């Protein structure tokens, strides 16, 4: 079987969708499926040299819509080589291009369906009602509604089916736009490959990227530095809980001398540090978050913010943490959440992450609302657990990955659906 994956960009810094594509394609290759990717990345992009799958980079796409005059002709020429096309994501030029290319092929030879592959769409959370209801997205919501009426609703209606990563995503997609008339809805799931075994080299690599942390215990956030991730309330919640803890142990006099509390340095206070790692610190939002910390002499001794962690750095960060935290206002799946589970690390997440019900059912994490009080509860609930309770949750985390989020069963499920 030959599959073509269509996506706007495969730049690893974007995380999310492109990471899901990489994981899925790698496993499908092991199942002897031939996979190719067409994207609108620049053909000179440095990351392409490291890719192990064929990527046809036709970009860079122009305008926020990621327009490229090369994509439709490329699809018309090559679509018939594939048994199925999986379109990853919505609202950008690639979805429009796939529809136009297939319409052209149909007009050229209406009777020959063999030359036209099946079309499946994997929205990756882009039909979530959050994006239409968020207060800071009102103009974009109007734009999306118009775009739905003119283009995207028809793209979905004409596809052979929609592929969802979890049940919650499938149900939420039904509530966002009208008319919503997909031919078929399928929950194929999403997972990750087995993580590499822990090594001291991983830990050392991480600590080199996070100087000053040393052997301190820490809670880890790993993801894009973006308003949707709730990082601002994460800082505020941590700050308030830390101050409350200091008051309880009578460290009430603070000086600006390297985080000194009544003669006790910050590293002597038994409160887990917070590591916030990811790309995006150079964005306006990232800069504003850093200012919150830099302007707070207390937090300087407790919060670390390295840039994007990859390979051994990333796995060293995950293996070394007490727990993983993600207080997102919307998250379709949360690959980093599952990566933490695969390393036996409990997850502290908001109930706006679409796999929260699975986490709750499998008892491998703590779930609270995506509010300041909710994030404070995430921290405090974790800190109140006994050593035995944390150890039990560690064991549950690894079992949850093996039983629910391993990429092997997901890839087989996806392949069976496409073959139907």
Long-range CB contacts for residues 284-293, cutoff 8 Å, separation at least 24: 285/225, 285/226, 285/227, 286/225, 289/225, 289/231, 289/232, 289/235, 292/232, 292/235, 293/235
For residues 146 and 238, membership in a common domain is answered with no
CB neighbours of residue 156 within 10 Å: 25
Residue pair 355/333 in contact (Cβ under 8 Å)? The answer is yes
For residues 183 and 76, membership in a common domain is answered with yes
Sheet with 84-88, side-by-side order of all strands: 54-57, 34-39, 2-6, 84-88, 118-122, 161-164, 185-187
Task: Identify the CA nearest to 340 among candidates 307, 366, 370.
Answer: 366
Residue pair 83/120 in contact (Cβ under 8 Å)? The answer is no
For residues 243 and 332, membership in a common domain is answered with yes
Planar angle of CA 70, 9, 172, nearest 5 degrees: 115
pTM of the entire predicted model: 0.84
> Would you give per-residue pLDDT tens digits along the chain (420 residues)?
999 999 999 998 887 899 899 999 999 999 999 999 999 999 999 999 989 899 999 989 999 999 999 999 999 999 999 999 999 999 999 999 999 999 999 888 877 665 789 999 999 999 999 999 988 899 999 999 999 999 999 999 999 999 999 999 999 999 999 999 999 999 999 988 899 999 999 999 999 999 989 889 999 999 999 999 999 999 999 999 988 887 665 544 444 444 444 444 444 457 899 999 999 999 999 999 888 888 887 788 899 999 999 999 999 999 999 999 999 999 999 999 999 999 999 999 999 999 999 999 999 999 999 999 999 999 999 999 999 999 999 999 999 999 889 888 889 989 999 988
Q: What is the CATH number of the domain that holds 329?
A: 3.40.50.2000
Cβ within 8 Å of residue 295, ≥6 positions away: none
For residues 238 and 106, membership in a common domain is answered with no
For residues 121 and 225, membership in a common domain is answered with no
**CA pair distance 34, 228, nearest whole angstrom:** 35
For residues 236 and 139, membership in a common domain is answered with no
For residues 225 and 133, membership in a common domain is answered with no
What is the domain extent for residue 55? Answer: 2-191+407-419
* Helix or strand (DSSP H, E) at 54: strand 54-57
Report the number of distinct structural domains present in the chain.
Answer: 2
For residues 296 and 326, membership in a common domain is answered with yes
For residues 168 and 278, membership in a common domain is answered with no
Residue pair 106/129 in contact (Cβ under 8 Å)? The answer is no
Whether cis (ω within 30° of 0) applies to the bond prior to 60 is yes
């Amino acid at each position: 079987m030959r599959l073509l994956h269509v996506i706007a960009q495969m730049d690893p810094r974007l995380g999310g969708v492109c990471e899901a594509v990489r994981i899925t394609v790698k496993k499908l290759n092991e199942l002897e499926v031939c996979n190719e990717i067409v994207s609108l990345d620049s053909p000179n992009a440095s990351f392409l040299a490291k890719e192990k799958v064929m990527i046809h980079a036709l970009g860079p796409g122009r305008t926020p819509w990621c327009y490229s005059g090369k994509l439709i002709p490329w699809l018309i020429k090559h679509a018939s080589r594939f048994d199925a096309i999986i379109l990853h994501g919505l609202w950008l030029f690639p979805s429009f291009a796939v529809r136009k290319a297939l319409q052209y092929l149909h007009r050229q030879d209406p009777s020959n369906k063999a030359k036209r592959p099946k079309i499946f769409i994997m929205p990756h959370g882009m039909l979530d009602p959050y994006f239409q209801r968020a207060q800071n997205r009102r103009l974009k919501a109007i734009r999306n509604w118009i775009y739905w009426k003119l283009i995207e609703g028809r793209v979905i209606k004409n596809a052979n089916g929609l592929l969802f990563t979890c049940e919650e995503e499938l149900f939420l997609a039904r509530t966002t736009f009208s008319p919503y008339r997909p031919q078929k809805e399928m929950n194929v799931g999403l997972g990750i490959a087995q993580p590499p075994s822990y090594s001291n080299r991983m830990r050392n690599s991480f600590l080199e990227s996070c100087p000053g942390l040393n052997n301190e215990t820490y809670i880890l956030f790993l993801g894009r530095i973006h308003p949707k991730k709730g990082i601002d309330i994460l800082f505020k919640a941590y700050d308030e809980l830390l101050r409350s803890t200091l008051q309880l142990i009578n460290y009430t006099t603070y000086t600006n001398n390297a985080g000194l509390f009544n003669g006790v340095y910050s590293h002597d206070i038994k409160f887990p540090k917070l590591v916030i790692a990811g790309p995006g610190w150079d964005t306006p939002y990232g800069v504003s978050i850093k200012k919150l910390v830099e302007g707070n002499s207390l937090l300087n001794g407790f919060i670390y913010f390295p840039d994007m962690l990859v390979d051994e750095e990333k796995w060293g960060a995950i293996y070394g943490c007490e727990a993983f935290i993600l207080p997102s206002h919307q998250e379709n799946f949360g690959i980093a959440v599952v990566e933490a589970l695969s390393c036996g690390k409990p997850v502290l997440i908001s109930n706006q992450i679409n796999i929260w019900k699975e986490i709750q059912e499998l008892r491998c994490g703590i779930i609270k609302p995506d509010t300041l009080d909710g994030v404070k509860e995430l921290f405090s609930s974790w800190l109140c657990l006994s050593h035995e309770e944390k150890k039990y949750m560690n064991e549950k985390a690894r079992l949850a990955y093996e039983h629910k989020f391993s990429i092997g069963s997901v890839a087989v499920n996806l392949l069976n659906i496409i073959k139907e």
